[in-house]
Structure 1
Amino acid sequence: MGPSGCGKTTLLNCLSGRLRLDSGHIYLNRDQLCKRWKRKICYVLQQDIFFPDLTLRQTLEYTARLRLPDTMSHSQKMQYVDHIIDVLELGPCQDTIIGDYIKRGLSGGEKKRANIACELLTNPSLMLLDEPTSGLDSYAAFNLMTTLKRYAVSEGKTVVVTLHQPSSQIFHLCDKLLLLCGGQTAYFGDTCKVVDFFANVGLHIMPHYNPADFILEQVKGSSEVRQKIIAAARDAREAKDYPVELHDCIYLQEKFMDTSGRVMDPTHHPFPHLDPGMTNSNLPSEDMLNSMEPDVRRLWLDTHSHASSSSSETSDSDCYFSWPTSFWTQFKVLSQRNFQEARPRMLSKLNWVQTIGLGLMAGLLWFQLERREEALHDIQGWMFFSTTYWMLFAHFGALSSFPPEREVINKERQSGAYRLSAYYLAKMVGELPLTVTLPAIYHVISYPMLGFHSPVVFFTLLGFLLLNTIVAQSVGFFIGAACMDMQVSITISALYTLATQLFGGYLATNIPAWLTWMRYLSMVHYAYQNMQIVEFSDGLPIMCSNTSKFPICADSSHIPVSAILEAQGPHLPLWANTCVLVAFLLVFRLLGYVVLRYFRTPK
């Protein structure tokens, strides 16, 4: 407990191993904290971060499949999910979506319990919860804390909770209390004894007053009162009932000092048969051990027995972090979850209406165009409009969806749930069917209305339209991962996509020589050229007009594709344009992974 800014969250970050220490060490059961032991700790953040479109049960099932070991069968994992739902009394709301500020879903208390349930699935030995009662009413907060208390007692777990200003009921549920004041210890001990501690300092509580309110008022009082409390807490360290593990080093050295005043080195073992390198000059006598207080003697023996075996128990090989599941399991589960989470967003009813309406509008606008030179500009207009529209749709869709998803991914990466490579590949594969569905529907509606000539041309144009859409999504994902600020990412995306359209080859053909290099950075440029090559070479020929602007029409009745492309400036063959688009796809996907792996690692 403690007032705002006293260091409660910082302390939990240190205990969980998520914050680098300036000094000191963290021990779990007297073994130094390493990656292996971090898996025994669960850390429930103050913010409830979830995918809003998944139900509570779906969230727990995916978490169980990712974080429980492969040695457990699917049915065993689902039985454990049922057990956690029963323990936290989440059965009535298990089929409700998580929800967010737009979509109504779980209540505040249910989200808190869902957050705890996700962490309990790993069966941790130690639970750290950062202000789980914040934002809840008094009844919901008490109900949550009662559930945690019951779970700790029934399952034999240790629960560490930070509380800002609890009610008296919640306060008395806690067994031990650590009171912080400006980053220093103001009290540590039994919760029921804190009132007596303050009374000994001269600070008396009024009858029927909430002890939590009383002690918080005192630690937020004048500087003289705060210093008096901190000094009393420092003096309390020397009491016999104070945990010996938390004694000051000076106090421990006094306890380990023999009758001659020589301080014994606490890194040496007191028994030569347990430490062959121990010299007789460093050994305490049996009388010395018997004269020690029981807690001090226990700490001495436990410390040195751990020291004798520390080389084997805390070696690098034992502390090596192993993933709970294989790469294939992570990829499979994450692919399914990405597909299920993104489907309501990418294939919403509004997007379906927009796609069908736009397909019909484009088809009617360019309905049954004649294959003549007068209609050439209109055919090219359909191609350019289709490529640019789906480029923008996919690019800004990826850009807007990534920031909220990044919070969930960072939380799961910090807990060691899966490899980043498995998530990244699963996202690419899981969302691929959703990415190409709407452009394909648009193409199926609009292109036949222009005039269907060849199935080969139809499917080839569709392939290049989808390839351009996936490339645009890759660029959007990279920019979204690289830019932490949404406004910055939107500005950069707007500049790039508008430049892509300007240099695509349709809006401007007479580009200044010193700007011609810009067209080679335009993804639309390559897709637009490929669509023209396919349409005007494999489809019906474009007949020349009586007053044609193409010189070749003087000797021919139709316009070849080479003449159409030359009128727009330098161009590449079909295979070269395709290779450049694939290179765009691979490079931006790889850059997105590099940014997440090395520059956006969760702290």
Structure 2
Amino acid sequence: MESTARSSESTDTVREEQIQRNDNMAEDLELGNTKSTHLINDIVLNYAWKDIDVKVKDRTSGKPISILTDANGIIHGGEMVALMGPSGSGKTTLLNSIAHRKAAAGATTTGLRLANGQSIGVSEIRELSSYVEQDDALIGSLTVHETMQFAARLALPSSVSKKERLQRIDDLISSFGMQSQAQTIVGTPLKKGLSGGQKKRLEVASRLVTNPKIVFLDEPTSGLDSTLSFEVMNYIKQIGKKNNLIIIASIHQPSTKTFELFDKLCLLSRGKTCYFGPVSTASEYFERIGYKMPQKVNPAEFYLDLINMDLAKEGDNIAAQVKHITHSWASSIEANSLKEEINMAINMSSDPEKGVPKVSRVRTAKPAPWMIPWVLFHRSWIKAYRDIVAYGTRMIMYLGLAVLMGTVFLRFSTTQSHIQPFVSSIFFSSAFISFMAVAYVPAFLEDRATFSKERANGLVGPLAFTISNFLIGLPFLFLITVLFAVVQYWLTNMRPTADSFWMFVLWLFLDLVAAESLVVLVSSIFPVFVVALAVTAFANGLWMCVSGFLVPLGILNPFWKYVFHYIDYQAYVFQGMMVNEFKHRTYECDSLGDGKYQCMYPSDLNSVGKISGIAVLQQYGINPNIQGTWVGIMIAIIAVYRLLGYLVLLIKRT
């Protein structure tokens, strides 16, 4: 009887609170069309998930196994809920599921996600929420204020004035206690910036600048000590209360002070719910089912110890204990009240008299599509000239290579003994330029990681990222090419005319752009540093082998010739640079005396002791009159690499 009475009382309380919330909303909605539209677009009364199940295929048997079972929960505006459990309990799986993200690799998710009691899909949840991942997506060379600026410019429409945008940024920086760090850089491997706690605060603040109503946080305190954890979560709590946000965070072993900041607790073990409800009543609930919490114990640690099966030993009753806890929850009055509250929200959303905002009508204004590439370009420009790892190190590397090449192939003359060294210098100039483009892999992977997280929050698309990434590289690649050519070209004593020099620069520039485009394609397919590095190096080695220098085209195996040679950008660069050097030059044969000469290449000038450069080109099977065609093919190869890279990003979600 006592349990029944408590259940009835709990249900009545929930119903009264829900009705009061919606009555207040209805009063607001009666104030006029302008305010009504504003509220419909900006206010979420509650967010719930019902009957969430996640299944994956067992690797051994191939049968589906459940990694999350019958998860239910509801949270209201201004509240903060903690998803807790030991490692492997399903915290991140649940967080991803309710955020309409991929729960796990190869997982199938069923159940409802509900905003204001209405089922919502991926597009709606992106309009309403922001997701802050465990690993930060901050760009180390930007300052705190710049990070907030770019986040706002990627999310806020042009209708928001610059003054309003800056005010919102300043307010958030102030709210998170970072005024004194506003002009401090985030931090790079070579230059120290923010502390770990400050980075976490900035990560959350940069998501809040987009004005979400729901915030998902994946392990926001990972890597922080108890003091910094409390600091970060306390700032988030204050912002949530002030702006009536719904905050859902997965968290691992918080301190007592941090744990008490949360309004609600969702406790999981092996994918099953052990408790969902107010933090303040959790100890009472567990005492009722037979697990009294001792005094002076961290409540979070107590609850986790109850359900942690990771360290269970033979003879322990921990498995039976966890089974008892999960079964007790499934049949508890609290679980029934939770389901009734969710059902009540669903029923009230379908009652027009209650005036519950329709989330299907939510359409957040976005920046103009053409603005996104420009914002990304601007951000990448700042990163490129500040972060010497991205391009500065590469400039030094290529300059060193130019000195090496120029001093090894030093001051060649126009005698026939220097023809082959000239050819070798041309080949290795283009081959080394291409091969060393692998140094761009880490910089691109960093940009790709930032893109992936911004894309998941609906801020940036693959096309905008691809365009900005391509454009930002061009001036730096051109500068690298000129620096290399100025040193190597004149030291080697190649054809001493301005037009020949700039044609040499053009070919090297196209070579470097093509090589970097290959890096982008490979790194988009394989976003793992070691794998991307290995595949790119292998591809460049292949292009070197079939370019027509190491093995002349006339005797190259037909398979390699017809399958790879004609799509080898290094081949066209080699041919173009050969024509540039040899087409308008002649070389002296060795004199044998008495007007006789020994010439290494047959030429119509042999009788006068000379070799025409055209004769050298003929020996390599190079047509000296189709340079324009080769330039066009190079541009086409670059375009295809970039297009394929875009398509890979479009198809892949991570």
Asked whether the two chains share a fold, i.e. TM above 0.5, the reply is yes
How many angstroms apart in 1 are the aligned matches of 2:515 and 2:393?
A: 21
Aligned-pair distance for 1:80? Answer: 1.7
How many angstroms apart in 1 are the aligned matches of 2:350 and 2:304?
A: 36
**Greater alpha carbon shift after TM alignment, 86-95 vs 121-130:** 86-95
For the 8 Å contact 1:476–1:493, the answer to whether it is kept is yes
Alignment of 1:287-298 (within 5 A): none
Per the alignment, residue 284 of structure 1 pairs with: none
Measured at CA, do residues 50 and 381 of structure 1 come closer, stay the same or move farther in structure 2, by a change above 3 Å?
same
Measured at CA, do residues 493 and 189 of structure 1 come closer, stay the same or move farther in structure 2, by a change above 3 Å?
closer
Is 1:245 matched with 2:337?
no
How many angstroms apart in 1 are the aligned matches of 2:99 and 2:263?
A: 21
For the 8 Å contact 1:67–1:324, the answer to whether it is kept is yes
Is 1:176 matched with 2:264?
yes
Residue of 474, 480, 489 corresponding to 2:517: 474
How many angstroms apart in 1 are the aligned matches of 2:532 and 2:102?
A: 29
Alignment of 1:186-201 (within 5 A): 186-201=274-289
Report the AA paired with residue 491 of structure 1. Answer: A
Per the alignment, residue 91 of structure 2 pairs with: 8
1:504 alignment partner, SS class: coil
Residue of 62, 67, 71 corresponding to 2:159: 71
Report the AA paired with residue 222 of structure 1. Answer: I
Per the alignment, residue 25 of structure 1 pairs with: 112
**Greater alpha carbon shift after TM alignment, 48-57 vs 324-333:** 48-57
TM-score in terms of structure 1 length: 0.83
Report the AA paired with residue 542 of structure 1. Answer: Y
Is 1:511 matched with 2:552?
no
How many angstroms apart in 1 are the aligned matches of 2:338 and 2:647?
A: 50
Measured at CA, do residues 386 and 192 of structure 1 come closer, stay the same or move farther in structure 2, by a change above 3 Å?
same
More strand by share: 2
Percent identity, aligned pairs only, is 26
Per the alignment, residue 58 of structure 1 pairs with: 146
How many angstroms apart in 1 are the aligned matches of 2:540 and 2:100?
A: 42
Is 1:93 matched with 2:162?
no
Per the alignment, residue 446 of structure 1 pairs with: 488
For the 8 Å contact 1:460–1:534, the answer to whether it is kept is yes
Per the alignment, residue 616 of structure 2 pairs with: 564
Per the alignment, residue 226 of structure 1 pairs with: 322
Aligned-pair distance for 1:47? Answer: 1.7
Report the AA paired with residue 363 of structure 1. Answer: G
1:23 alignment partner, SS class: strand
- The superposition leaves residues 87-115 of structure 1 with CA deviations (integer Å, 9 ceiling, x where unpaired) of 11122333333335665432221121111
**Greater alpha carbon shift after TM alignment, 369-378 vs 416-425:** 369-378
How many angstroms apart in 2 are the aligned matches of 1:88 and 1:44?
A: 16
Report the AA paired with residue 393 of structure 1. Answer: M
Per the alignment, residue 208 of structure 1 pairs with: 296
Measured at CA, do residues 566 and 513 of structure 1 come closer, stay the same or move farther in structure 2, by a change above 3 Å?
farther
For the 8 Å contact 2:120–2:359, the answer to whether it is kept is no
How many angstroms apart in 1 are the aligned matches of 2:587 and 2:393?
A: 38
Measured at CA, do residues 75 and 368 of structure 1 come closer, stay the same or move farther in structure 2, by a change above 3 Å?
farther
**Greater alpha carbon shift after TM alignment, 511-520 vs 384-393:** 511-520
- The superposition leaves residues 127-162 of structure 1 with CA deviations (integer Å, 9 ceiling, x where unpaired) of 221221221111111111211222122222222222
* RMSD between superposed Cα atoms in Å: 2.9
Aligned-pair distance for 1:352? Answer: 4.1
Aligned-pair distance for 1:126? Answer: 1.6
Unaligned runs of 5+ in 2: 1-83, 309-316, 591-596
For the 8 Å contact 1:44–1:116, the answer to whether it is kept is yes
Per the alignment, residue 600 of structure 2 pairs with: 549
Alignment of 1:446-595 (within 5 A): 446-451=488-493, 453-509=496-552, 511-514=555-558, 515-517=560-562, 518-538=564-584, 540-545=585-590, 546-552=597-603, 553-555=605-607, 558-569=610-621, 571=623, 573-595=626-648
**Structure 1: 4+ residue segments shifted above 6 A:** 238-241, 306-310
For the 8 Å contact 1:532–1:561, the answer to whether it is kept is no
Measured at CA, do residues 367 and 32 of structure 1 come closer, stay the same or move farther in structure 2, by a change above 3 Å?
same
**Greater alpha carbon shift after TM alignment, 41-50 vs 100-109:** 100-109
For the 8 Å contact 2:599–2:611, the answer to whether it is kept is no
Report the AA paired with residue 24 of structure 1. Answer: G
How many residues are matched? 545
How many angstroms apart in 2 are the aligned matches of 1:53 and 1:119?
A: 19
How many angstroms apart in 2 are the aligned matches of 1:512 and 1:241?
A: 77
How many angstroms apart in 1 are the aligned matches of 2:482 and 2:100?
A: 48
Per the alignment, residue 303 of structure 1 pairs with: 350
Per the alignment, residue 329 of structure 1 pairs with: 371
How many angstroms apart in 1 are the aligned matches of 2:392 and 2:347?
A: 68
Residue of 81, 94, 112 corresponding to 2:169: 81
2:247 alignment partner, SS class: strand
Unaligned runs of 5+ in 1: 248-295
Report the AA paired with residue 579 of structure 1. Answer: G
